[in-house]
A and B are shown apart, each in its own frame.
Chain A
Protein backbone atom coordinates (compact mmCIF):
# COMPACT_ATOMS: atom_id res chain seq x y z
CA UNK A 1 0.00 0.00 0.00
CA UNK A 2 1.06 3.48 -0.75
CA UNK A 3 0.46 6.73 1.00
CA UNK A 4 -1.83 5.63 3.78
CA UNK A 5 -0.17 2.37 4.61
CA UNK A 6 0.04 2.03 8.34
CA UNK A 7 -2.41 4.80 9.05
CA UNK A 8 -4.95 3.93 11.76
CA UNK A 9 -8.09 2.16 10.65
CA UNK A 10 -11.15 4.39 10.59
CA UNK A 11 -14.01 2.51 9.04
CA UNK A 12 -14.19 -1.24 8.74
CA UNK A 13 -17.16 -2.66 6.86
CA UNK A 14 -17.47 -6.42 7.17
CA UNK A 15 -19.79 -8.63 5.14
CA UNK A 16 -22.42 -5.97 4.65
CA UNK A 17 -25.63 -7.31 3.10
CA UNK A 18 -28.64 -5.20 2.28
CA UNK A 19 -32.03 -6.44 1.12
CA UNK A 20 -34.95 -4.58 -0.35
CA UNK A 21 -38.25 -6.15 0.54
CA UNK A 22 -40.94 -6.04 -2.11
CA UNK A 23 -44.51 -7.05 -1.66
CA UNK A 24 -44.75 -9.26 -4.72
CA UNK A 25 -41.27 -10.57 -5.45
CA UNK A 26 -39.82 -11.26 -2.05
CA UNK A 27 -36.50 -9.88 -0.89
CA UNK A 28 -34.03 -8.48 -3.38
CA UNK A 29 -30.40 -8.71 -2.49
CA UNK A 30 -29.02 -5.33 -3.44
CA UNK A 31 -25.72 -5.69 -1.61
CA UNK A 32 -24.18 -8.99 -0.51
CA UNK A 33 -21.17 -9.64 1.69
CA UNK A 34 -19.33 -6.47 0.81
CA UNK A 35 -16.27 -5.73 2.94
CA UNK A 36 -13.86 -2.85 2.78
CA UNK A 37 -11.73 -0.69 5.02
CA UNK A 38 -10.93 2.96 5.20
CA UNK A 39 -7.84 4.34 6.87
CA UNK A 40 -7.28 7.87 8.01
CA UNK A 41 -6.70 10.16 5.06
CA UNK A 42 -7.41 7.42 2.55
CA UNK A 43 -9.44 7.94 -0.60
CA UNK A 44 -11.42 4.87 -1.55
CA UNK A 45 -13.07 4.60 -4.94
CA UNK A 46 -16.21 2.52 -5.37
CA UNK A 47 -16.82 1.77 -9.05
CA UNK A 48 -19.28 -0.26 -11.03
CA UNK A 49 -22.13 0.03 -13.46
CA UNK A 50 -25.43 1.66 -12.55
CA UNK A 51 -27.60 -0.44 -10.29
CA UNK A 52 -24.87 -2.57 -8.79
CA UNK A 53 -25.41 -1.42 -5.24
CA UNK A 54 -22.85 1.34 -4.81
CA UNK A 55 -25.19 4.03 -3.53
CA UNK A 56 -27.19 1.50 -1.53
CA UNK A 57 -24.08 0.34 0.28
CA UNK A 58 -23.14 3.94 1.08
CA UNK A 59 -26.61 4.83 2.34
CA UNK A 60 -26.42 1.64 4.38
CA UNK A 61 -23.30 2.86 6.15
CA UNK A 62 -25.19 5.98 7.23
CA UNK A 63 -28.31 3.91 7.90
CA UNK A 64 -30.31 6.14 5.61
CA UNK A 65 -31.85 3.41 3.48
CA UNK A 66 -35.38 3.86 2.18
CA UNK A 67 -38.05 2.17 4.31
CA UNK A 68 -38.04 -1.00 2.23
CA UNK A 69 -34.28 -1.39 2.55
CA UNK A 70 -32.85 -3.43 5.41
CA UNK A 71 -29.35 -4.33 6.50
CA UNK A 72 -29.62 -8.09 6.95
CA UNK A 73 -26.13 -8.86 8.13
CA UNK A 74 -22.66 -7.47 8.56
CA UNK A 75 -20.80 -5.07 10.75
CA UNK A 76 -19.88 -1.45 10.19
CA UNK A 77 -17.15 -0.68 12.65
CA UNK A 78 -16.33 2.97 13.08
CA UNK A 79 -13.70 3.73 15.67
CA UNK A 80 -14.36 0.35 17.29
CA UNK A 81 -18.13 0.89 17.57
CA UNK A 82 -20.57 -1.08 15.43
CA UNK A 83 -22.79 1.52 13.79
CA UNK A 84 -25.51 -1.07 13.30
CA UNK A 85 -25.81 -1.57 17.04
CA UNK A 86 -26.34 2.12 17.81
CA UNK A 87 -29.72 3.52 18.66
CA UNK A 88 -31.33 5.89 16.20
CA UNK A 89 -30.41 8.97 18.24
CA UNK A 90 -26.81 7.83 18.70
CA UNK A 91 -26.66 7.26 14.96
CA UNK A 92 -28.04 10.74 14.32
CA UNK A 93 -25.05 11.98 16.27
CA UNK A 94 -22.60 10.02 14.17
CA UNK A 95 -24.09 11.24 10.93
CA UNK A 96 -22.48 14.40 9.72
CA UNK A 97 -20.37 14.80 12.83
CA UNK A 98 -18.26 11.72 12.07
CA UNK A 99 -19.44 10.56 8.68
CA UNK A 100 -20.87 13.08 6.24
CA UNK A 101 -22.20 12.58 2.77
CA UNK A 102 -22.14 14.50 -0.48
CA UNK A 103 -25.31 13.43 -2.19
CA UNK A 104 -25.66 12.57 -5.81
CA UNK A 105 -27.04 15.48 -7.82
CA UNK A 106 -26.12 18.69 -6.02
CA UNK A 107 -29.08 20.61 -7.42
CA UNK A 108 -31.59 18.28 -5.82
CA UNK A 109 -29.78 18.10 -2.52
CA UNK A 110 -30.05 21.87 -2.04
CA UNK A 111 -33.41 23.25 -1.05
CA UNK A 112 -34.30 25.81 -3.74
CA UNK A 113 -36.12 28.12 -1.33
CA UNK A 114 -33.30 28.66 1.16
CA UNK A 115 -30.05 30.56 0.80
CA UNK A 116 -27.01 28.38 0.32
CA UNK A 117 -25.27 29.87 3.35
CA UNK A 118 -28.24 29.08 5.57
CA UNK A 119 -28.26 25.51 4.38
CA UNK A 120 -24.59 25.07 5.16
CA UNK A 121 -25.16 26.62 8.58
CA UNK A 122 -28.06 24.22 9.10
CA UNK A 123 -25.67 21.29 9.20
CA UNK A 124 -23.42 23.07 11.66
CA UNK A 125 -26.15 24.34 13.96
CA UNK A 126 -27.79 20.92 14.27
CA UNK A 127 -24.67 19.48 15.85
CA UNK A 128 -22.89 22.40 17.44
CA UNK A 129 -23.32 23.26 21.08
CA UNK A 130 -25.44 26.27 21.96
CA UNK A 131 -22.42 28.47 22.49
CA UNK A 132 -21.04 27.65 19.06
CA UNK A 133 -24.23 28.52 17.23
CA UNK A 134 -23.46 32.20 17.29
CA UNK A 135 -20.34 31.53 15.31
CA UNK A 136 -22.26 29.70 12.58
CA UNK A 137 -21.94 32.63 10.21
CA UNK A 138 -18.22 32.77 10.72
CA UNK A 139 -18.01 29.03 10.18
CA UNK A 140 -19.96 29.24 6.92
CA UNK A 141 -17.57 31.88 5.64
CA UNK A 142 -14.58 29.70 6.48
CA UNK A 143 -16.16 26.69 4.81
CA UNK A 144 -16.89 28.70 1.68
CA UNK A 145 -13.28 29.87 1.62
CA UNK A 146 -12.18 26.29 1.95
CA UNK A 147 -14.11 25.14 -1.11
CA UNK A 148 -13.33 28.26 -3.12
CA UNK A 149 -16.62 30.10 -3.16
CA UNK A 150 -16.59 33.83 -2.60
CA UNK A 151 -18.01 34.73 0.83
CA UNK A 152 -20.46 37.27 -0.45
CA UNK A 153 -22.34 34.59 -2.34
CA UNK A 154 -23.53 32.92 0.81
CA UNK A 155 -26.80 34.81 0.69
CA UNK A 156 -27.61 33.61 -2.78
CA UNK A 157 -30.03 30.87 -3.69
CA UNK A 158 -29.05 27.57 -5.32
CA UNK A 159 -30.41 28.59 -8.71
CA UNK A 160 -27.92 31.44 -8.79
CA UNK A 161 -25.04 29.00 -8.49
CA UNK A 162 -23.48 27.14 -11.38
CA UNK A 163 -23.35 23.35 -11.30
CA UNK A 164 -19.77 23.31 -10.08
CA UNK A 165 -20.50 25.85 -7.35
CA UNK A 166 -23.44 23.83 -6.13
CA UNK A 167 -21.18 20.83 -5.86
CA UNK A 168 -18.67 22.94 -3.94
CA UNK A 169 -21.44 24.12 -1.66
CA UNK A 170 -22.39 20.50 -1.01
CA UNK A 171 -18.78 19.73 -0.16
CA UNK A 172 -18.72 22.69 2.20
CA UNK A 173 -21.87 21.36 3.81
CA UNK A 174 -20.33 17.93 4.22
CA UNK A 175 -17.33 19.48 5.95
CA UNK A 176 -19.44 21.65 8.25
CA UNK A 177 -18.91 19.51 11.33
CA UNK A 178 -15.35 18.46 10.45
CA UNK A 179 -16.18 14.80 9.90
CA UNK A 180 -13.54 12.10 9.70
CA UNK A 181 -15.17 10.40 6.74
CA UNK A 182 -16.90 11.98 3.76
CA UNK A 183 -18.87 9.80 1.38
CA UNK A 184 -19.05 11.47 -2.02
CA UNK A 185 -21.73 9.90 -4.19
CA UNK A 186 -20.85 10.63 -7.80
CA UNK A 187 -19.46 14.07 -7.04
CA UNK A 188 -18.47 14.78 -10.63
CA UNK A 189 -21.46 13.39 -12.51
CA UNK A 190 -23.26 15.94 -14.68
CA UNK A 191 -20.36 18.40 -14.51
CA UNK A 192 -18.24 19.36 -17.48
CA UNK A 193 -14.68 18.06 -17.60
CA UNK A 194 -13.04 21.29 -16.49
CA UNK A 195 -15.27 21.56 -13.44
CA UNK A 196 -14.84 17.84 -12.78
CA UNK A 197 -11.11 18.34 -12.62
CA UNK A 198 -11.54 21.29 -10.25
CA UNK A 199 -13.83 19.35 -7.94
CA UNK A 200 -11.43 16.40 -7.86
CA UNK A 201 -8.56 18.73 -7.18
CA UNK A 202 -10.56 20.21 -4.32
CA UNK A 203 -11.38 16.81 -2.83
CA UNK A 204 -7.75 15.78 -3.06
CA UNK A 205 -6.48 18.95 -1.45
CA UNK A 206 -9.02 18.65 1.37
CA UNK A 207 -7.85 15.14 1.96
CA UNK A 208 -4.28 16.37 2.22
CA UNK A 209 -4.96 19.51 4.24
CA UNK A 210 -7.51 18.39 6.81
CA UNK A 211 -6.86 14.67 6.67
CA UNK A 212 -10.42 13.62 6.00
CA UNK A 213 -10.94 10.16 4.55
CA UNK A 214 -13.11 10.09 1.47
CA UNK A 215 -15.16 7.41 -0.23
CA UNK A 216 -15.80 8.36 -3.84
CA UNK A 217 -18.61 6.56 -5.63
CA UNK A 218 -18.17 6.90 -9.35
CA UNK A 219 -18.57 5.38 -12.80
CA UNK A 220 -15.43 7.01 -14.00
CA UNK A 221 -12.18 5.09 -13.81
CA UNK A 222 -10.39 8.30 -14.67
CA UNK A 223 -11.56 9.73 -11.36
CA UNK A 224 -10.30 6.63 -9.61
CA UNK A 225 -6.87 6.85 -11.18
CA UNK A 226 -6.71 10.52 -10.35
CA UNK A 227 -7.59 10.61 -6.68
CA UNK A 228 -8.00 7.19 -5.13
CA UNK A 229 -5.63 5.15 -3.00
CA UNK A 230 -7.68 1.99 -3.18
CA UNK A 231 -10.57 0.75 -5.24
CA UNK A 232 -13.58 -1.43 -4.63
CA UNK A 233 -15.12 -2.79 -7.85
CA UNK A 234 -18.73 -3.79 -7.37
CA UNK A 235 -20.83 -5.90 -9.66
CA UNK A 236 -24.43 -6.96 -9.10
CA UNK A 237 -24.26 -6.18 -5.40
CA UNK A 238 -21.06 -8.05 -4.60
CA UNK A 239 -17.45 -6.97 -4.35
CA UNK A 240 -15.80 -8.20 -7.53
CA UNK A 241 -12.35 -6.96 -6.73
CA UNK A 242 -10.76 -4.88 -4.02
CA UNK A 243 -7.22 -3.61 -4.35
CA UNK A 244 -5.02 -0.59 -4.06
CA UNK A 245 -5.07 1.62 -7.10
CA UNK A 246 -1.72 0.57 -8.58
CA UNK A 247 -2.52 -3.11 -8.36
CA UNK A 248 -5.91 -2.58 -9.84
CA UNK A 249 -4.71 -0.69 -12.88
CA UNK A 250 -1.65 -2.86 -13.47
CA UNK A 251 -2.60 -6.31 -12.30
CA UNK A 252 -6.37 -6.62 -12.23
CA UNK A 253 -7.46 -10.20 -11.71
CA UNK A 254 -11.21 -10.26 -12.01
CA UNK A 255 -12.45 -10.50 -15.63
CA UNK A 256 -14.99 -7.74 -14.96
CA UNK A 257 -12.32 -5.33 -13.77
CA UNK A 258 -10.22 -6.12 -16.81
CA UNK A 259 -13.11 -5.55 -19.18
CA UNK A 260 -13.93 -2.34 -17.36
CA UNK A 261 -10.37 -1.15 -17.83
CA UNK A 262 -10.45 -2.19 -21.48
CA UNK A 263 -13.60 -0.19 -21.99
CA UNK A 264 -11.68 2.90 -21.04
CA UNK A 265 -10.25 4.75 -24.07
CA UNK A 266 -6.50 4.46 -24.47
CA UNK A 267 -4.81 7.76 -25.28
CA UNK A 268 -1.85 6.07 -26.90
CA UNK A 269 -4.03 4.35 -29.46
CA UNK A 270 -6.59 6.97 -30.43
CA UNK A 271 -7.77 5.12 -33.53
CA UNK A 272 -8.88 1.97 -31.69
CA UNK A 273 -12.55 1.25 -31.50
CA UNK A 274 -13.90 1.46 -27.98
CA UNK A 275 -14.67 -1.91 -26.53
CA UNK A 276 -17.70 -2.46 -24.38
CA UNK A 277 -18.99 -5.29 -22.25
CA UNK A 278 -22.00 -6.78 -24.04
CA UNK A 279 -25.16 -7.27 -22.03
CA UNK A 280 -26.47 -5.63 -18.90
CA UNK A 281 -25.85 -6.02 -15.18
CA UNK A 282 -28.19 -8.62 -13.67
CA UNK A 283 -31.59 -7.56 -12.46
CA UNK A 284 -31.92 -7.94 -8.75
CA UNK A 285 -35.04 -10.06 -9.07
CA UNK A 286 -33.39 -12.40 -11.56
CA UNK A 287 -29.88 -12.99 -10.27
CA UNK A 288 -27.98 -15.78 -11.99
CA UNK A 289 -27.56 -18.87 -9.82
CA UNK A 290 -23.78 -18.92 -10.10
CA UNK A 291 -21.33 -16.07 -10.39
CA UNK A 292 -23.23 -12.90 -11.08
CA UNK A 293 -20.91 -11.93 -13.87
CA UNK A 294 -20.95 -15.36 -15.53
CA UNK A 295 -23.57 -14.55 -18.21
CA UNK A 296 -21.37 -11.74 -19.56
CA UNK A 297 -17.98 -13.19 -18.73
CA UNK A 298 -15.82 -14.31 -21.69
CA UNK A 299 -13.81 -16.60 -19.43
CA UNK A 300 -16.76 -18.30 -17.78
CA UNK A 301 -16.76 -22.08 -17.54
CA UNK A 302 -19.28 -24.59 -16.27
CA UNK A 303 -18.68 -24.10 -12.60
CA UNK A 304 -19.27 -20.34 -12.87
CA UNK A 305 -22.87 -20.91 -13.87
CA UNK A 306 -23.82 -23.04 -10.91
CA UNK A 307 -21.69 -21.92 -7.99
CA UNK A 308 -20.89 -18.55 -6.54
CA UNK A 309 -17.19 -17.86 -6.09
CA UNK A 310 -16.07 -16.61 -2.71
CA UNK A 311 -13.63 -13.80 -2.13
CA UNK A 312 -10.04 -15.00 -2.52
CA UNK A 313 -7.20 -13.17 -0.91
CA UNK A 314 -4.54 -12.58 -3.57
CA UNK A 315 -2.13 -10.34 -1.74
CA UNK A 316 -1.92 -8.44 1.48
CA UNK A 317 -4.20 -5.84 0.00
CA UNK A 318 -5.81 -7.48 -2.96
CA UNK A 319 -8.85 -9.70 -3.17
CA UNK A 320 -11.16 -10.82 -5.96
CA UNK A 321 -14.16 -13.09 -6.21
CA UNK A 322 -13.54 -15.33 -9.19
CA UNK A 323 -12.84 -19.05 -9.62
CA UNK A 324 -9.97 -18.24 -11.98
CA UNK A 325 -7.91 -16.65 -9.24
CA UNK A 326 -8.87 -19.10 -6.53
CA UNK A 327 -5.76 -20.58 -4.92
CA UNK A 328 -5.58 -24.25 -5.83
Chain B
Protein backbone atom coordinates (compact mmCIF):
# COMPACT_ATOMS: atom_id res chain seq x y z
CA UNK B 1 0.00 0.00 0.00
CA UNK B 2 1.20 3.47 -0.68
CA UNK B 3 1.71 5.60 2.34
CA UNK B 4 -0.78 8.34 1.62
CA UNK B 5 -3.68 6.06 2.34
CA UNK B 6 -2.77 5.93 6.00
CA UNK B 7 -4.38 8.93 7.57
CA UNK B 8 -2.69 8.18 10.85
CA UNK B 9 0.82 8.61 9.50
CA UNK B 10 2.76 11.72 10.39
CA UNK B 11 2.66 12.76 6.78
CA UNK B 12 -1.08 12.55 6.71
CA UNK B 13 -1.28 14.49 9.93
CA UNK B 14 0.86 17.23 8.50
CA UNK B 15 -1.15 17.29 5.28
CA UNK B 16 -4.32 17.91 7.24
CA UNK B 17 -2.70 20.31 9.65
CA UNK B 18 -1.18 22.53 7.00
CA UNK B 19 -4.60 23.39 5.68
CA UNK B 20 -5.21 25.25 8.90
CA UNK B 21 -2.95 28.34 8.93
CA UNK B 22 -3.60 29.07 12.59
CA UNK B 23 -2.51 25.59 13.59
CA UNK B 24 0.65 25.91 11.50
CA UNK B 25 1.37 29.23 13.20
CA UNK B 26 0.85 27.56 16.56
CA UNK B 27 3.09 24.66 15.62
CA UNK B 28 5.90 26.99 14.62
CA UNK B 29 5.50 29.10 17.74
CA UNK B 30 5.84 25.96 19.86
CA UNK B 31 8.70 24.53 17.81
CA UNK B 32 10.54 27.85 18.02
CA UNK B 33 10.20 27.82 21.81
CA UNK B 34 11.35 24.22 22.05
CA UNK B 35 14.44 25.04 19.97
CA UNK B 36 15.18 28.04 22.18
CA UNK B 37 15.02 25.81 25.24
CA UNK B 38 17.20 23.11 23.69
CA UNK B 39 19.92 25.45 22.47
CA UNK B 40 19.69 28.03 25.24
CA UNK B 41 23.43 27.97 26.08
CA UNK B 42 24.30 28.62 22.40
CA UNK B 43 21.72 31.30 21.83
CA UNK B 44 21.85 33.33 25.02
CA UNK B 45 24.53 36.01 25.03
CA UNK B 46 25.07 35.70 28.80
CA UNK B 47 24.75 32.92 31.36
CA UNK B 48 22.20 33.99 34.01
CA UNK B 49 23.91 31.87 36.66
CA UNK B 50 27.21 33.63 36.21
CA UNK B 51 27.91 36.24 38.83
CA UNK B 52 28.45 39.65 37.34
CA UNK B 53 30.13 42.71 38.71
CA UNK B 54 27.40 45.28 38.87
CA UNK B 55 27.52 49.03 39.04
CA UNK B 56 24.50 51.23 39.65
CA UNK B 57 24.26 51.96 35.97
CA UNK B 58 23.85 48.28 35.18
CA UNK B 59 20.66 47.91 37.20
CA UNK B 60 17.55 48.27 35.03
CA UNK B 61 19.71 49.49 32.18
CA UNK B 62 17.66 50.29 29.09
CA UNK B 63 17.99 48.07 26.01
CA UNK B 64 21.29 48.59 24.24
CA UNK B 65 23.52 46.74 21.81
CA UNK B 66 25.14 44.88 24.72
CA UNK B 67 21.81 44.00 26.35
CA UNK B 68 19.10 43.73 23.70
CA UNK B 69 16.31 43.69 26.21
CA UNK B 70 18.04 45.66 28.91
CA UNK B 71 18.98 44.36 32.33
CA UNK B 72 17.02 43.40 35.43
CA UNK B 73 17.24 44.35 39.09
CA UNK B 74 20.46 42.40 39.53
CA UNK B 75 22.04 43.85 36.43
CA UNK B 76 21.59 40.64 34.48
CA UNK B 77 20.71 40.40 30.83
CA UNK B 78 16.91 40.08 30.40
CA UNK B 79 17.23 38.48 26.96
CA UNK B 80 19.41 35.66 28.33
CA UNK B 81 17.09 35.16 31.30
CA UNK B 82 14.19 34.92 28.90
CA UNK B 83 15.87 32.23 26.82
CA UNK B 84 16.82 30.15 29.86
CA UNK B 85 13.32 30.68 31.23
CA UNK B 86 11.84 28.69 28.34
CA UNK B 87 13.51 25.60 29.80
CA UNK B 88 11.65 25.93 33.08
CA UNK B 89 8.31 26.67 31.50
CA UNK B 90 8.46 23.83 29.01
CA UNK B 91 9.75 21.33 31.56
CA UNK B 92 6.92 22.14 33.94
CA UNK B 93 4.40 22.20 31.13
CA UNK B 94 5.32 18.87 29.55
CA UNK B 95 5.85 16.86 32.71
CA UNK B 96 2.83 18.22 34.54
CA UNK B 97 0.68 17.57 31.47
CA UNK B 98 2.05 14.05 31.22
CA UNK B 99 1.10 13.35 34.83
CA UNK B 100 -2.38 14.78 34.18
CA UNK B 101 -2.74 12.67 31.09
CA UNK B 102 -1.75 9.49 32.89
CA UNK B 103 -4.07 10.07 35.85
CA UNK B 104 -6.98 11.57 33.92
CA UNK B 105 -6.73 9.09 31.08
CA UNK B 106 -6.73 6.07 33.38
CA UNK B 107 -9.56 7.33 35.55
CA UNK B 108 -11.63 8.34 32.52
CA UNK B 109 -11.11 5.04 30.70
CA UNK B 110 -11.83 2.89 33.72
CA UNK B 111 -14.85 4.92 34.82
CA UNK B 112 -16.32 4.99 31.33
CA UNK B 113 -15.70 1.34 30.55
CA UNK B 114 -16.55 -0.30 33.86
CA UNK B 115 -19.51 1.91 34.71
CA UNK B 116 -21.81 1.37 37.65
CA UNK B 117 -20.51 1.90 41.16
CA UNK B 118 -16.88 2.23 40.11
CA UNK B 119 -17.77 4.98 37.67
CA UNK B 120 -19.83 6.78 40.27
CA UNK B 121 -17.04 6.67 42.79
CA UNK B 122 -14.35 7.81 40.36
CA UNK B 123 -16.40 10.60 38.83
CA UNK B 124 -17.58 11.99 42.18
CA UNK B 125 -13.95 12.01 43.26
CA UNK B 126 -13.15 13.88 40.05
CA UNK B 127 -15.92 16.36 40.79
CA UNK B 128 -14.52 16.99 44.25
CA UNK B 129 -11.08 17.74 42.82
CA UNK B 130 -12.69 19.79 40.08
CA UNK B 131 -14.61 22.13 42.35
CA UNK B 132 -11.61 22.96 44.52
CA UNK B 133 -10.19 26.20 43.14
CA UNK B 134 -6.88 25.19 41.60
CA UNK B 135 -4.58 28.06 42.38
CA UNK B 136 -5.24 28.44 46.13
CA UNK B 137 -4.84 24.68 46.65
CA UNK B 138 -1.67 24.61 44.59
CA UNK B 139 -0.35 27.54 46.62
CA UNK B 140 -1.06 25.71 49.86
CA UNK B 141 0.49 22.48 48.66
CA UNK B 142 3.58 24.15 47.22
CA UNK B 143 4.01 26.22 50.35
CA UNK B 144 3.70 23.11 52.53
CA UNK B 145 6.17 21.09 50.49
CA UNK B 146 9.36 22.73 49.39
CA UNK B 147 8.83 24.93 46.35
CA UNK B 148 11.21 22.95 44.19
CA UNK B 149 10.65 22.43 40.48
CA UNK B 150 9.79 18.75 40.97
CA UNK B 151 7.22 19.54 43.62
CA UNK B 152 5.62 22.20 41.46
CA UNK B 153 5.38 19.76 38.56
CA UNK B 154 3.80 17.08 40.74
CA UNK B 155 1.33 19.43 42.36
CA UNK B 156 0.20 20.95 39.07
CA UNK B 157 0.04 17.48 37.53
CA UNK B 158 -2.06 15.83 40.21
CA UNK B 159 -4.54 18.68 40.27
CA UNK B 160 -4.91 19.26 36.54
CA UNK B 161 -6.32 15.94 35.36
CA UNK B 162 -10.00 16.49 36.04
CA UNK B 163 -10.85 17.91 32.61
CA UNK B 164 -9.02 15.07 30.89
CA UNK B 165 -10.81 12.47 33.00
CA UNK B 166 -14.25 13.83 32.20
CA UNK B 167 -13.47 14.14 28.51
CA UNK B 168 -12.00 10.66 28.24
CA UNK B 169 -14.88 9.15 30.18
CA UNK B 170 -17.51 10.69 27.93
CA UNK B 171 -15.70 9.54 24.82
CA UNK B 172 -15.24 6.06 26.29
CA UNK B 173 -18.95 5.86 27.05
CA UNK B 174 -19.77 6.51 23.43
CA UNK B 175 -17.09 4.23 21.97
CA UNK B 176 -17.88 1.24 24.17
CA UNK B 177 -21.46 1.11 22.84
CA UNK B 178 -20.25 0.82 19.28
CA UNK B 179 -20.90 -2.41 17.43
CA UNK B 180 -17.27 -3.33 16.99
CA UNK B 181 -16.82 -3.58 20.74
CA UNK B 182 -19.68 -6.08 20.92
CA UNK B 183 -18.14 -7.90 18.00
CA UNK B 184 -14.74 -8.05 19.69
CA UNK B 185 -16.34 -9.22 22.92
CA UNK B 186 -18.16 -12.00 21.12
CA UNK B 187 -14.88 -13.03 19.54
CA UNK B 188 -13.69 -13.62 23.06
CA UNK B 189 -11.81 -10.47 23.96
CA UNK B 190 -11.38 -9.68 27.64
CA UNK B 191 -11.94 -6.30 29.26
CA UNK B 192 -8.31 -5.26 29.33
CA UNK B 193 -7.86 -6.24 25.69
CA UNK B 194 -10.99 -4.32 24.70
CA UNK B 195 -9.80 -1.17 26.45
CA UNK B 196 -6.28 -1.43 25.09
CA UNK B 197 -7.05 -2.34 21.54
CA UNK B 198 -10.49 -1.03 20.74
CA UNK B 199 -11.31 1.83 23.07
CA UNK B 200 -7.97 3.50 23.77
CA UNK B 201 -7.09 4.08 20.08
CA UNK B 202 -10.42 5.81 19.54
CA UNK B 203 -10.01 7.98 22.61
CA UNK B 204 -6.31 8.71 22.19
CA UNK B 205 -6.58 11.57 19.63
CA UNK B 206 -8.86 13.42 21.99
CA UNK B 207 -6.39 12.84 24.82
CA UNK B 208 -3.59 14.25 22.67
CA UNK B 209 -5.50 17.42 21.91
CA UNK B 210 -6.45 17.81 25.53
CA UNK B 211 -2.85 17.31 26.60
CA UNK B 212 -1.59 20.11 24.37
CA UNK B 213 -4.10 22.41 26.02
CA UNK B 214 -3.19 21.15 29.49
CA UNK B 215 0.48 21.96 28.77
CA UNK B 216 -0.43 25.59 28.22
CA UNK B 217 -2.49 25.61 31.41
CA UNK B 218 0.38 24.12 33.38
CA UNK B 219 2.77 26.73 32.04
CA UNK B 220 0.35 29.44 33.01
CA UNK B 221 -0.05 28.00 36.49
CA UNK B 222 3.69 27.72 37.03
CA UNK B 223 4.08 31.35 35.98
CA UNK B 224 1.34 32.41 38.38
CA UNK B 225 3.00 30.53 41.22
CA UNK B 226 6.39 32.03 40.48
CA UNK B 227 4.86 35.47 40.14
CA UNK B 228 3.39 35.33 43.63
CA UNK B 229 6.73 34.16 44.94
CA UNK B 230 6.15 30.41 45.19
CA UNK B 231 8.45 29.43 42.35
CA UNK B 232 11.57 27.36 42.71
CA UNK B 233 14.06 29.93 44.04
CA UNK B 234 17.00 28.18 42.37
CA UNK B 235 15.65 28.43 38.84
CA UNK B 236 14.74 31.55 36.97
CA UNK B 237 11.38 31.22 35.28
CA UNK B 238 9.34 33.81 33.45
CA UNK B 239 6.97 34.16 36.36
CA UNK B 240 9.88 34.81 38.64
CA UNK B 241 11.28 37.45 36.31
CA UNK B 242 7.92 39.17 36.50
CA UNK B 243 7.92 38.82 40.26
CA UNK B 244 11.34 40.38 40.62
CA UNK B 245 10.58 43.23 38.25
CA UNK B 246 7.34 43.82 40.09
CA UNK B 247 8.60 43.69 43.65
CA UNK B 248 12.05 45.14 43.20
CA UNK B 249 11.23 48.49 41.78
CA UNK B 250 11.03 47.68 38.09
CA UNK B 251 7.73 49.54 37.80
CA UNK B 252 8.89 52.67 39.56
CA UNK B 253 12.12 52.85 37.64
CA UNK B 254 10.18 52.59 34.38
CA UNK B 255 11.96 49.38 33.30
CA UNK B 256 9.20 48.20 30.93
CA UNK B 257 11.56 45.73 29.28
CA UNK B 258 11.87 43.70 32.46
CA UNK B 259 8.07 43.37 32.68
CA UNK B 260 6.92 43.12 29.11
CA UNK B 261 9.52 40.57 27.94
CA UNK B 262 8.54 37.67 30.25
CA UNK B 263 4.87 38.59 29.87
CA UNK B 264 5.17 38.39 26.13
CA UNK B 265 7.02 35.08 26.36
CA UNK B 266 4.22 33.54 28.43
CA UNK B 267 1.58 34.76 26.01
CA UNK B 268 3.64 33.47 23.08
CA UNK B 269 3.89 29.91 24.38
CA UNK B 270 0.34 29.67 25.67
CA UNK B 271 -1.06 31.10 22.45
CA UNK B 272 1.08 28.78 20.35
CA UNK B 273 -0.05 25.70 22.28
CA UNK B 274 -3.69 26.73 22.17
CA UNK B 275 -3.61 27.30 18.43
CA UNK B 276 -1.86 23.98 17.90
CA UNK B 277 -4.33 22.21 20.17
CA UNK B 278 -7.31 23.59 18.32
CA UNK B 279 -5.72 22.73 15.00
CA UNK B 280 -5.10 19.16 16.10
CA UNK B 281 -8.67 18.92 17.30
CA UNK B 282 -9.80 19.88 13.85
CA UNK B 283 -7.62 17.20 12.32
CA UNK B 284 -8.67 14.47 14.70
CA UNK B 285 -12.33 15.32 14.67
CA UNK B 286 -13.44 14.73 11.09
CA UNK B 287 -16.61 16.68 11.65
CA UNK B 288 -14.59 19.85 11.99
CA UNK B 289 -12.49 19.08 8.95
CA UNK B 290 -12.68 20.69 5.56
CA UNK B 291 -14.52 18.59 3.12
CA UNK B 292 -12.95 17.94 -0.24
CA UNK B 293 -16.08 19.28 -1.90
CA UNK B 294 -15.76 22.48 0.08
CA UNK B 295 -16.64 25.68 -1.72
CA UNK B 296 -13.39 27.32 -0.63
CA UNK B 297 -11.40 26.98 -3.84
CA UNK B 298 -8.05 27.17 -2.12
CA UNK B 299 -8.77 24.05 -0.09
CA UNK B 300 -9.95 21.99 -3.02
CA UNK B 301 -7.12 22.97 -5.30
CA UNK B 302 -4.51 21.88 -2.80
CA UNK B 303 -6.00 18.45 -2.51
CA UNK B 304 -6.21 18.07 -6.25
CA UNK B 305 -2.57 18.98 -6.78
CA UNK B 306 -1.65 16.59 -4.01
CA UNK B 307 -3.47 13.68 -5.53
CA UNK B 308 -2.03 14.45 -8.96
CA UNK B 309 1.44 14.39 -7.44
CA UNK B 310 0.83 11.09 -5.78
CA UNK B 311 -0.51 9.67 -9.03
CA UNK B 312 2.74 10.61 -10.68
CA UNK B 313 4.64 8.94 -7.86
CA UNK B 314 2.69 5.77 -8.33
CA UNK B 315 3.16 5.82 -12.07
CA UNK B 316 6.91 6.21 -11.80
* Residue ranges of A at the interface with B (Cβ–Cβ < 8 Å): 62, 64, 92-93, 95-96, 101, 103-105, 108-114, 119, 122-123, 126-127, 152, 155-157, 160, 173
Contacts and interface: CB of A to CB of B under 8 A. Distances in A.
Nearest to A108: B179
Interface string B175-186: 000111011111
A126 B1 contact: no
Q: Is the interface of B mostly helix, strand, loop or mixed?
A: helix
A122 B201 contact: no
A122 B184 contact: yes
Contacts of A157: 5-7
Interface residues of B, number: 20
B187 A126 contact: yes
Contacts of B183: 101, 103, 109-110, 173
Contact of B182 (A103, A110, A123, A127): A103
Given A111-B198, A113-B202, A155-B1, A122 B187 contact: yes
A164 B286 CA distance: 24
A113 B206 CA distance: 14
B133 interface: no
B186 A160 contact: no
B188 A96 contact: yes
B124 to A, nearest CB: 21
30 contacts: A62-B186, A64-B182, A64-B185, A95-B187, A95-B188, A96-B186, A96-B187, A103-B179, A108-B178, A108-B179, A108-B180, A109-B180, A109-B182, A109-B183, A110-B180, A111-B198, A111-B201, A111-B202, A113-B201, A122-B184, A122-B189, A123-B187, A126-B187, A126-B189, A127-B188, A156-B1, A157-B6, A157-B7, A160-B5, A173-B183
Contacts of B179: 103-105, 108-109
Contacts of B197: 114, 122
Given A105-B179, A108-B178, A114 B201 contact: yes
A114 to B, nearest CB: 7
B1 A101 contact: no
Contact of B186 (A95, A152, A155, A156): A95
